[in-house]
Structure 1
Amino acid sequence: KVARAIRLAQEDRLEKPFTLEYPCHDENEQRWFQARVVSMGPDQAGYVLVEHQSITNQKKDQLERLATEERFQKIFESHSAVMLLIEPESGRLLDANFAAEKFYGYSRNLLKKMSIQEINLLSPEEIGKRREEALAKTVECFIFPHRLANGEVRNVEVYSSPIPIDGRHLLFSIVHDITERMEIENERERLISAIEQAAECIVITDKEGSIQYVNPVFEKTTGYSREEVIGQNPRVLKSGRHDGPFYEKLWETISSGETWTGRMVNKRKDGAFYTEEASISPVYNSSGEISSFVAVKRDITQELALEEQLHQSQKMEAVGRLAGGVAHDFNNMLQTILGYSEMGLEGISPSHPLHLSLSEIHTAAERSADLTRQLLAFARKQTISPKILDLNDAVADTLKMLGRLIGEDIHLIWKPAHKLPPISMDPVQIHQILANLTVNARDAISDGGTIHIESSAVSLSEEDCEANRNMRPGEYVTLKLTDDGVGMDSETLDRIFEPFFTTKAQGEGTGLGLATVYGIVKQNEGYIEVDSKPGLGTTFQIFLPCLDKQIEGERGAKAKPPLLKGSERILLVEDEQVVLDLGVRLLKKLGYHVIATRDPREAIRLLQDPSLSIDLLMTDVVMPEMSGRDLFERVREIRPEIKCLFMSGYTADVITHHGILEEGI
């Protein structure tokens, strides 16, 4: 072939250069050569340019590249991973392997006629940007949504990089279906987010009990940061309130595969104790073995405090009802004792042998009457006459009396606030509160001390009232009394407002002083708080609601009419025979004409007789057949002009509204 080309060139008949590649191997080496024949043209007829060079290295590279491409093609077609060859400028699919055919649901021939834009759900602009990034090798891994032939959309992770093929760079892409993995990751993120944002405290430990995870509520509840407790044992929270068997039983329960539920007292980082309700469960791995434990806990410290407040309030309410009922029955007996002892004393001279005995009876009955008044105050059943007043003025009026109560060895300091808003309250009750609290403080102080009394105005918000479920937001004036006495322990504090509870020696107190204060405060829709510790004294703080409007003028108390004798006709109605007999004797002694009956219906029948002249109806309030209030309403229908005088030792909620006299009564 070379010789023929040379002859043609010599004859100037070689139209174009002739090139020939041929092997020339020996036993030790494979070699390739290239021969090239070029005609020199008509000017140099007969002359021929012949080039001959070794192309062994180029040929070896070419053969190796062809072998590589062949191996690549075999791997490309047979690999289980989805593989695509993409033309980077247009996005056309140049090739796709069998795994791609299986994954996308299109045949390989159809895939080779498609572009990546027909599979990728991103916009063409976005897809073009991603191809540029892959071609420039600035990004190698992408996550795309790809649509399959059946319309299903799968999330895929694509590793794409440029490779040279036939002198140009194509994008070689390996596609992994990560739909399930993303769903698992999303589920994991949802679970982590839920745990992180849960209102409960969540702790995860390994099977040995070392803390592996805590959520933010744990940090807020305990005061420990996550970094401080990871790797620690939960005993870092141990309070010492539970014994060894308690924790042994807990560990035995969860180690056996069961869930432990219960309450435990733990200790915060600052040393404060708190109670939590916990549920601790084992967590199993894929082999069915316990791999960790998870504890879900809730701080119920405040909840327990509120429950205790409610329990205490209900207990005090029950005791109050009992005390009020006892006081009512006791008053009926005392009326008889006081009445007859007074009549007996009036009928004999002081020198009479019975005068001293009757006087002792009368004195004892009066002391008993004081007890019933205190019981009624605690039960919030005493009848009061509230007035619009300035708390500072009411306190100032009692200071001299308080000084006599505490003696000269105790210093009394009064710190009034400036311009308190007015309150509506019976001033006598202010005196009762201060007298009882001051006496209580005096008895707690030994060898001289100080009692501080101060007033202030406060505004309670919803947040302020969260710790005490009985308190309501609003404007209040406060009365605070502080002593530097011996103080009280927590057990005593829990019972100080119970009637007849006292820490004093027998005969030194009735146990009704603080109960009376409690009842008065509650009757006036107020609140009382106590703070005391052994050796650190005691502080009582009372919150009294302010009036909704400014003072328009204080209502003065009506002057009591003098006790005069008369001759009018009185209809007396009382279901207790001994009280009825006493009333008849007392009224007749004062000169009145008395018609008496134990039956309200009999009283109505008598008043229906127009010939019977009655100037005044006197009736008991609480009677079994008909209340005194109902009797008066019936009587007014018959005789609208008649006057009525109610009498009772238990008037609350009958002629009064919550113990406050109604207008006109």
Structure 2
Amino acid sequence: MVEFHTSEHDELVRPWQASVELAVLRGPDGRVLSVNEAFARKFGVPRASWPGADASTLIHPDDVAGWRGAVARIDRPPHRGSHEHRWQTAQGWRWLSWEDCAVRNADGVIIAYRSIGRDVTKRRLAEEHFQKLASAVEQSPFAIVMTTPDGRVQYVNPRYTQSTGFTLEEIFEKNIPVLRGGHVSDESFIEFQETMRLGRKWTGDLCTRRKDGAALWEHVQVSPIRNFADEVTHLLSMREDITERKKLEDQLRQAQKMESLGTLAGGIAHDFNNVLAIINGFAEIAISRGPANETQARHLREIQDAGQRAVGLVKQILTFSRKTETMFKSVSINQHIKDLGRMCAETFPRTISFGFALDETIPEFSADPNQLQQVIMNLCVNARDAMLAQGGGRISVATERVRGSALLRLNADSEREYVCIKVADTGCGMPAHVRARIFEPFFTTKQTSGGTGLGLSVVYGIILNHKGFLEVESVEGKGSTFLIYLPLEAVKPSAAVVAAAGTARRIPKGTETVLVIEDEQALRDLLKALLVPSGYKLLMAPDGVEAVNMLMSEPSTIDAILLDLNLPRMNGLEVYRNIRRLRPDTKVIVISGNITPETRQELIGLGQKDFIPKPYSLEDLAFRLREMLDRKAQSVA
């Protein structure tokens, strides 16, 4: 072991005695030989107390291994090294940076290790803070862009490249105008620039385009960054992808709009039903009494035919507005599609071909077969019309089973299974502004060819009535695809009462007393013209209150009641309750063009059996009335 005196130790650290840097001399065994005043002050121990101390006891436990490795490296040429570790000082744990060198004698033997150090805690904390900040920016779920005040990109984080699809090289080399993108006009961008010039924060929603052309909605905040002289040196743009939120907002607005239109359509349809009942009824009476000549007979038949077509339109309006009752039955969707496909193939132009890809594992499920037929037919007709202008094309119809978990974007039940009906065409497609309105009633692009604008509105109403979902994909010039999702539910018995159809016979006679409760004067006149000549005695009530008064005051027997549900002063349901209370044995036919499933169920629960929808056939009404009265007579006998 090489030995030398304390004075020699002090000589080795003397050049650093007045220095603010720390100096320590250690022997080959690691024990302290000498320190300068700065070292002693740093650790709060007098210089004289340091010789023989073990410096490694002051190092943070997590850094001891690293420190020993650094010391061991000094034994090898070039016998110098540097390292940074945490030390327990008088001020607590501090980061100290050391420059080490080996002290050798004339024979080249290492006799000591000299370390010169400085406190770098502030720098290390700053670096750690910067590293955390850099990691936060790099891993941020928001896209972050830093530009110069004139818009030249200086930095973008990975989230920005992910959301836009552009690489870093493309962003810098192509000088993509990230601040200008999304502003709908030059005026909007100028207003943004003025906000930045004034040093204020700008916030707004912008719609830009990804590299693949897809729309990208972002909530953008742009803030100025200032230097020590309060000058704006950079602009920081924080961008949150809100594309999915925008889609949900659009779906909500569309649903609210369609609900409002449905309510309006249902109200209009009710009024139309009354008008059509009057037109069709008096035309039927005029025809039954024998027109004066063939020309008059032809005119009456034209009126009746037009009235029946109008009845069909009203039914479509009520289907759209979901004001009609759905008759759920067991449905084999693939068989329906095959049957309709054969019919369409026979009736559509030969330039239009059909293709089918049907999943035969789809079981029968609960649905209204007539309404589903209407959906598929409307979509096929629309596809046909979209392809006629270009001379023909192909309609593809497919079915498959889909888990609800794959349809969460549509708010589907993740526990349910759905059947997807896909109808695609190779037609002209639709621009965005047309696609946004196709389910609105009376909106049509086929004004010159007699389109009513109700086909897709009816489809929309039927799908919602079946608790299903509807999606549309269309590119102008490349065709359209309609995707319908219906829940695969087992068949539930329907409580709907189906009115028996009348037969083409002479209006039956009767002598009974009938109370007609109807607010429309023309309809009361129509029923009077039908029933009085047939021998019935008629009582008339124009509203619910008068009807109840008549039930209480009329001394004679009332054999039957024809009850409209939509009445002033007292609604028809309340009138029916009074009938059951005041005249429980009187038979009632409920007549309404706008009866909801809930109202029908309530009436059935109160014992009602006979229903006739408006507009009705006078012949059907007369036979239904006679059948009901005869049924009563038989039960009494």
Q: Which interval holds the TM-score relative to the shorter structure? A: 0.7 to 0.9
* Residue from 332, 335, 346 that aligns with 2:277: 335
Distance 1:646 1:471 in 2: 37
**What is the match of residue 86 of structure 2?**
145
Map 1:161-560 to 2 at 5 A.
161-164=101-104, 169-206=111-148, 209-230=151-172, 233-235=175-177, 250-251=192-193, 253-254=195-196, 257-349=199-291, 351=293, 354-399=296-341, 402=344, 405-407=347-349, 410-413=352-355, 416-444=358-386, 445-446=388-389, 449-466=392-409, 469=410, 473=414, 474-506=416-448, 508-547=450-489, 549=490, 560=500
**Structure 1: unaligned runs, 5 residues or longer:** 1-64
The reply on whether 1:95 has 2:34 as its aligned counterpart is: yes
How far did residue 312 of structure 1 move? Answer: 2.4
Q: Quick one: which of 53, 73, 78 aligns to 2:18? A: 78
Q: Deviations over 1:110-144 (max 9, x none)?
A: 44575425533428975984585265358833433
- Per-residue CA distance 1:504-555 (angstroms, 9 max, x = gap): 24462222222222222222222233333344333333222211x3x69999
Q: CA deviation at 1:248?
A: 5.8
**1:533 is matched by which residue type in structure 2?**
V
Q: Is 1:133 the counterpart of 2:76 in the alignment?
A: no
| Pair 271,323 (structure 1): closer, same or farther in 2 beyond 3 Å | closer
Q: CA deviation at 1:217?
A: 0.8
CA contact (8 A) 1:261 1:278 kept: yes
**Judging changes above 3 Å, is the alpha-carbon distance between structure 1 residues 608 and 553 closer, same or farther for their aligned structure 2 residues?**
closer
8 A contact 2:404–2:417 mirrored in 1: no
Distance in 2, matches of 1:329 and 1:128, equals 93
Equivalent in the alignment of 2:631: none
Identical residues among aligned pairs (%): 31
CA shift for structure 1 position 413: 4.9
State how far apart, in whole Å, the 2-side matches of 1:276 and 1:107 are. Answer: 64
| Residue 56 of structure 1: aligned partner | none
Amino acid at match of 1:630: E
Cα distance, 1:101–1:639 mapped onto 2, change above 3 Å: farther
Q: What is the distance in 2 between the residues matched to 1:205 and 1:69?
A: 58
Residue 455 to residue 507, structure 1, CA distance change in 2 (3 Å):
closer
Residues 473-522 of structure 1 show CA distances to partners (whole Å, capped at 9, x for unaligned) of 44222333334433332222222222222222446222222222222222
| Higher percent of residues as helix | 2
What letter matches 1:186 in structure 2? E
SS of the equivalent of 2:224 reads strand
8 Å CA contact 1:656–1:662 kept in 2: the answer is: no
Q: Which one is further off, 295-304 or 257-266?
A: 257-266
Task: Tell me, in whole angstroms, the C-alpha distance in 1 between the residues paired with 2:607 and 2:376.
Answer: 29
Indicate conservation of the 8 Å contact 1:569/1:613, yes or no. Answer: yes
SS in 2 for 1:309: helix
- What SS does structure 2 have at the residue aligned with 1:199? coil
Is the counterpart of residue 631 in structure 1 residue 579 in structure 2?
Answer: no
8 Å Cα contact 1:122/1:144 also seen in 2: no
**Stretch of structure 1 that moved more, 206-215 or 309-318:** 206-215
Q: Structure 1 residue 158 and structure 2 residue 94: aligned?
A: no
Residue in 1 that maps onto 2:542: 598
Q: Which amino acid aligns with 2:42?
A: F
Structure 2 CA distance for partners of 1:100 and 1:637, relative to 1, 3 Å: farther
Deviations 1:46-89 (A, max 9, x none): xxxxxxxxxxxxxxxxxxx9999776443221111122223452
- Matched-pair contact (CA < 8 Å) for 2:102–2:110: no
Change (3 A) 1:399 1:154: closer
Q: 1:603 to 1:387 in 2, by over 3 A?
A: same
Q: Deviations over 1:359-417 (max 9, x none)?
A: 34333322322222221122122233221211123334445654565355644555544
Shift of 1:228: 4.4
Q: 1:171 to 1:438 in 2, by over 3 A?
A: same
Deviation (angstroms), 1:326: 0.9
Q: What's 1:62 paired with?
A: none
Contact 1:237–1:267 (8 Å) recurs in 2:
no
Secondary structure at the aligned position of 2:470 is classed as strand
State the SS of the aligned residue for 1:487: coil
Q: Per-residue displacement from partner, 1:599-647 (whole Å, max 9, x unpaired)? A: 4344445556897544544322222333323333444345556554321
Contact 2:224 2:236 in 1 (8 A): yes
The superposition leaves residues 283-337 of structure 1 with CA deviations (integer Å, 9 ceiling, x where unpaired) of: 2334444443322122333433333333222222222211111111121122122
Candidates 506, 512, 523, aligned match of 1:579: 523
In 2: Cα distance, 1:254 partner to 1:497 partner: 43
Q: Which amino acid aligns with 1:627?
A: N
- In 1, the alpha carbon distance for the partners of 2:565 and 2:431 equals 44
Distance in 2 (alpha carbons) for counterparts of 1:66 and 1:347:
141
Number of aligned residues: 594
Question: Kindly tell me: are residues 614 and 203 of structure 1, through their superposed partners in 2, closer, same or farther at Cα, counting changes over 3 Å?
Answer: same
Task: Report 1 or 2 for greater relative contact order, CA contacts < 8 Å, sequence distance ≥ 6.
Answer: 2
Contact 1:134 1:171 in 2 (8 A): no
User: Matches of 2:447 and 2:110 in 1, distance apart?
Assistant: 109
Gap change, CA 1:652 and 1:306, over 3 Å in 2: same
Q: 1:372 to 1:175 in 2, by over 3 A?
A: same
Q: 1:94 to 1:656 in 2, by over 3 A?
A: farther
From the superposition, tell whether residues 567 and 414 of structure 1 become closer, same or farther in structure 2 (CA, over 3 Å).
farther
Native 8 Å contact 2:334 2:399 kept in 1: no
Given the alignment, which residue of 105, 108, 113 partners 2:44?
105
Is the CA contact (8 Å cut-off) linking 1:133 and 1:139 kept in structure 2?
no
Partners in 2 of 1:330 and 1:604 — Cα distance?
A: 27
Amino acid aligned to 1:645? I
What SS class does the counterpart of residue 624 from structure 1 fall into?
Answer: coil
State the Cα distance separating 1:201 from its structure 2 match: 0.7
Which of structures 1 and 2 has the bigger CA Rg? Answer: 1
Q: Matches of 1:432 and 1:73 in 2, distance apart? A: 100
Mapped to 1, the partners of 2:354 and 2:115 lie a distance apart of: 92
Amino acid at match of 2:95: N
Alignment of 1:112-123 (within 5 A): 112=51, 114-117=53-56, 119-122=58-61
Question: What letter corresponds to residue 392 of structure 2 in structure 1?
Answer: G
Q: List alignment gaps of at least 5 residues for structure 2.
A: 610-637
2:366/2:492 contact within 8 Å kept? no
Question: Judging changes above 3 Å, is the alpha-carbon distance between structure 1 residues 419 and 134 closer, same or farther for their aligned structure 2 residues?
Answer: closer
Equivalent residues of 2:226, 2:233 under 8 A apart: yes
Shift of 1:277: 3.2
Please identify, of 111-120 and 320-329, the stretch whose mean Cα deviation from structure 2 is larger: 111-120
SS state at 1:418 partner: coil
- Of the structure 1 ranges 340-349 and 570-579, higher mean CA displacement relative to structure 2 is found in 570-579
Write the distance in 2 (CA, Å) between the matches of 1:591 and 1:371: 35
**Given residue 163 of structure 1, which amino acid in structure 2 is its aligned partner?**
V
